């Protein structure tokens, strides 16, 4: 039993399951918005299907990333303890895990509606493409943002079978927010990436230039969020969520500067997790009481 628990822990570590906190709250926010804006009936089954798709897609994305980057991770001192280079999970087992989750993702998508079924292979291509982007483009951060930004629009499609401007604004928010904080995260590997011929915005533009680009992306995130609020019922809960989310982003850039990068862990993990949870909690509460 202990061995099974340890193995489950290894796979959860492989896909960084705790990082689901970045995209899942936005998918739930879009789910509730879709229900309220279209007067659709709440369904526990549909909610489980959406959550299932989120989990399976993330498992595919992170599992494939770890499989594709296994040799790179083995060379980088920061990542040698990841599950595949450390020998906790074999490359073959990781690939099988990815295939199983991809099949589950498509099967659940097929069970929702025709549009989710049609778009499911496209979503898989996007979330897997990120893993190879840093080999040839510094824009890999935005591809990562896109792979996470799919979630809110997908949740809206799952409810309505169509797409609208409001969920697209949430997706743009997630794309630029994730792209911006991934640039900050990539500051840790500038020298290693440069030595291996890998591409990133910090490698191409330097630390200062990369942080300016991250700030610009996060400015777009906040603008997208404010535009989305125009489709929501107004109230103090909504604007409290907006203020807290914006505050977390601003604090992130106060903590990480061109001359100070020791707080990247706090900025990347803690602040972004708090930002997504608080925004979703307050926005959903506003939608529910309207």
What CATH number should be reported for the domain holding residue 227? 1.10.357.140
pLDDT at res. 21: 75
Specify if 123 maps to a domain: yes
pTM for the whole structure: 0.93
Is residue 77 exposed (0-12), middle (13-18) or buried (19+ Cβ within 10 Å)?
Answer: exposed
Tokens of residue 36, six digits: 């309220």
The total number of structural domains that make up the chain: 1
pLDDT at res. 270: 83
Separation of alpha carbons 78 and 209, rounded Å? 23
> In angstroms, what CA-CA distances link 193 with 60, 93, 101, 200?
24, 27, 30, 8
Specify if 1 maps to a domain: no
Specify if 160 maps to a domain: yes
pLDDT at res. 288: 95
Specify if 174 maps to a domain: yes
pLDDT at res. 6: 64
Cβ contacts of residue 195 below 8 Å, gap of 6+?
Answer: none
Specify if 92 maps to a domain: yes
Specify if 134 maps to a domain: yes
Separation of alpha carbons 171 and 187, rounded Å? 25
Specify if 266 maps to a domain: yes
pLDDT at res. 223: 97
pLDDT tens per residue across all 290 residues of the chain: 666 656 677 677 776 766 677 789 999 999 999 999 999 999 999 999 999 999 999 999 999 999 999 999 999 999 898 889 988 889 999 999 999 999 999 999 999 999 999 999 999 999 999 999 999 999 999 999 999 999 999 999 999 999 999 999 999 999 999 999 999 999 999 999 999 999 999 999 999 999 999 999 999 999 999 999 999 999 999 999 999 999 999 999 999 988 887 778 777 778 888 999 999 999 999 999 98
Torsion of CA 103, 34, 147, 25, to 10 degrees: -100
Tokens of residue 198, six digits: 């890998």
pLDDT at res. 268: 73
Q: Which domain holds residue 79?
A: 6-289
Specify if 150 maps to a domain: yes
pLDDT at res. 44: 96
Give me the long-range contacts of 50-54 (CB less than 8 A, separation at least 24): 50/112, 50/154, 50/155, 50/158, 51/24, 51/27, 52/104, 52/108, 53/105, 53/108, 53/109, 53/112, 53/116, 53/154, 53/158, 54/20, 54/23, 54/24, 54/27, 54/151
pLDDT at res. 12: 73
pLDDT at res. 14: 75
């Amino acid at each position: 039993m202990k061995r099974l628990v340890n193995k489950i822990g290894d796979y959860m570590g492989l896909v960084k399951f705790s990082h689901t906190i970045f995209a899942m709250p936005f998918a739930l926010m879009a789910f509730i918005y879709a229900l309220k804006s279209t007067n659709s009936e709440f369904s526990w089954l549909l909610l489980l299907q959406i959550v299932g798709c989120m989990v399976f897609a993330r498992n595919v994305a992170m599992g494939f990333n770890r499989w594709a980057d296994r040799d790179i991770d083995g060379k980088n001192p920061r990542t040698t303890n990841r599950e595949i280079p450390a020998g906790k999970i074999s490359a073959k087992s990781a690939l099988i895990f990815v295939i199983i989750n991809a099949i589950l993702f498509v099967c659940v998508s097929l069970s929702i509606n025709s549009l989710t079924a049609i778009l499911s292979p496209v979503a898989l291509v996007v979330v897997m493409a990120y893993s190879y982007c840093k080999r040839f483009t510094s824009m890999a951060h935005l591809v990562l943002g896109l792979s996470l930004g799919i979630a809110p629009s997908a949740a809206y499609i799952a409810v309505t079978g169509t797409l609208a401007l409001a969920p697209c604004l949430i997706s743009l928010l997630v794309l630029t927010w994730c792209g911006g904080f991934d640039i900050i995260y990539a500051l840790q590997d500038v020298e290693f990436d440069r030595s291996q011929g890998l591409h990133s915005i910090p490698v191409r533009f330097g630390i200062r230039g990369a942080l300016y680009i991250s700030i610009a992306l996060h400015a777009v995130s906040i603008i997208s969020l404010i535009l989305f609020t125009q489709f929501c019922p107004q109230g103090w809960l909504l604007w409290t969520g907006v203020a807290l989310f914006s505050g977390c982003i601003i604090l992130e850039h106060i903590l990480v500067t061109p001359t100070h990068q020791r707080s990247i862990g706090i900025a990347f993990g803690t602040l972004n997790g708090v930002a997504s949870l608080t925004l979703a909690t307050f926005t959903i509460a506003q939608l529910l009481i309207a």
